[in-house]
Amino acid sequence: MKQILMVGAGSVGGFFGAHLAKNNPNVSFLLRAKTLAAVKQNGLTIRSAKGSFTVHPTAASDPRELPKPDLIILSVKAYDLDEVLNQLEPVLTNQTVILTLQNGVDTEDRIVARLQRDCVVGGVAFIYSKIASPGVIEHYKKGAVAIGELMGHQSPRLLAIADLFNQAGIPCQLTEDVRKSKWEKMCWNCVFNPLTVIVDDKVAKTLEHPEMLRVIHQIVEEVSAVAASVKVPLSPDMAEKVVRWTQEIRDIHTSMYDDWKAGRRTEIDYLNGYIVQKGRELGIPTPVNEALTAMIKTITEKEKTGPGIVRIDGAMVQPVSLDRAAIAALPAEHQLDISTVMPNMKGKGIRLKALLDMPALAIKADHVTVHAGDGKYSACLTLAQAVEWGILLYEVDGEALPESKGGPYRLVTPGLGDLCANVKGVARIEVTIGPGTDTRPSVRTNC
């Protein structure tokens, strides 16, 4: 295996890839644009109490610009797998070997199912490191791998990969049951990744309370039940092992915690979410993992923005963002068929009163300005006018109001006479103290 391609240079791939590249000129990197620019300019740097160094490997964002690999080491997030395989397809041959160093337990099967050949060696990474900035990895603890053939045998390619790691000074354990090794790490990941986010603290915080230890046991019991159903039996004392393994790394945050704090997407769907999905398929209850999945998504997912979202903000305690489903779920007394008040129009609407009743408005709030998404048009009404007459159209025939009819949201105010306001493509409803801007030609700027 002469040519090695590292896919990704994050906290895992950056550390192991840099060590492999330190004394091996045949290690190249496939990187995203931002990381690629940083590595090309400054190299790939590892900062560690055990020794810091920088390498300057060959790198590109297109694998066709790199030497054709004999070995590909995947270290990207589980949710990026399909995109990465699409990228790699032009350089894959019948001899290419793929080593996985990713969280989750289904990566190997997904690759084999797609490529339809025996090309995958499973791997598990044991490391605590994080991305300080693109191309700079800070390493704190551990830094070893366990690898194995999916069928459990010691193949020449497995031994060759182990030799590459060992020559780079990376401890590499050969495992006869890599699937079991991955499920054991899955147990740890399903416990501490979500719990550190929920408690917003280090691993130690989750070990300090007897009540939490019981929760840890419940999480692991559910994961173990799913594992057993896919013919990967785990030790009966798996929960105790998970806790015991964690005692020496009590001071760490997890990768999910770091991803959350950095504003990155988490791998919850490939950890606890995967357990929930498989549990449903297999008829195995997984209520604790389901609760963790829901809580992590609620905590970490960013507020929705863009087309189809209307935001209510301004003079209030907390802004609110709604999509069409949320608007349709508002109380029935505020929903109406627009044809009942505007016979020449069809569609379903919600009274602005329902939207303005949700947020806690500032004490002296007295005006409402409705803005179009393009920022060019707005209509300002007094709060009383908006509550009494304002209607937001959002649906026609059970579908989103189309742009051709002023969608996805359109303000109408039947009954306001000469002050009638009509704003198409509404994206924002701003509550103000005092008048806001108004672009209606027949209305002054301050209404």
336-347 residue pLDDT tens: 998 888 888 788
For residues 427 and 336, state if they share a domain: yes
Count the neighbouring beta carbons within 10 Å of the beta carbon of residue 288.
Answer: 21
* Strands 120-133 and 97-100, bridge-based pairing: parallel
Q: Does 21 share its domain with 149?
A: yes
Both 346 and 285 in one domain: the answer is no
pTM: 0.81
> Residue 201 CA to chain centroid, in angstroms?
19
Mapping DSSP to helix (H, G, I), strand (E, B) and coil, where does residue 28 land? strand
Q: Is residue 208 part of a domain?
A: yes
Name the one residue in this structure whose structure tokens are 């194995």: 148
SS3 for 100-132 is ECCCCCCHHHHHHHHHCCCCEEEEEEEEEEEEE
Same domain as 186, residue 57: no
Whether 41 and 169 share a structural domain:
yes
Confidence of residue 398 (pLDDT cuts 50, 70, 90): confident
Domain boundary among 242, 275, 302: 302
Q: Residue 238 is part of a domain; what is its CATH number?
A: 1.10.1040.10
Residue 443 lies in a domain: no
Report pLDDT for 443: 58
Domain shared by 196 and 157, yes or no: no
Examine the domain organization and report whether 75 and 90 are in the same domain: yes
- Domain of residue 318, residue span: 310-432
35 and 48 together in one domain: yes
Q: Parallel, antiparallel, or unpaired: how do β-strands 71-74 and 58-60 relate?
A: unpaired
Contact between 155 and 188 under an 8 Å Cβ cutoff? The reply is no
Per-residue pLDDT tens digits for 214-225: 999 999 999 999
pLDDT in tens, 179-209: 999 999 999 999 999 999 999 999 999 998 8
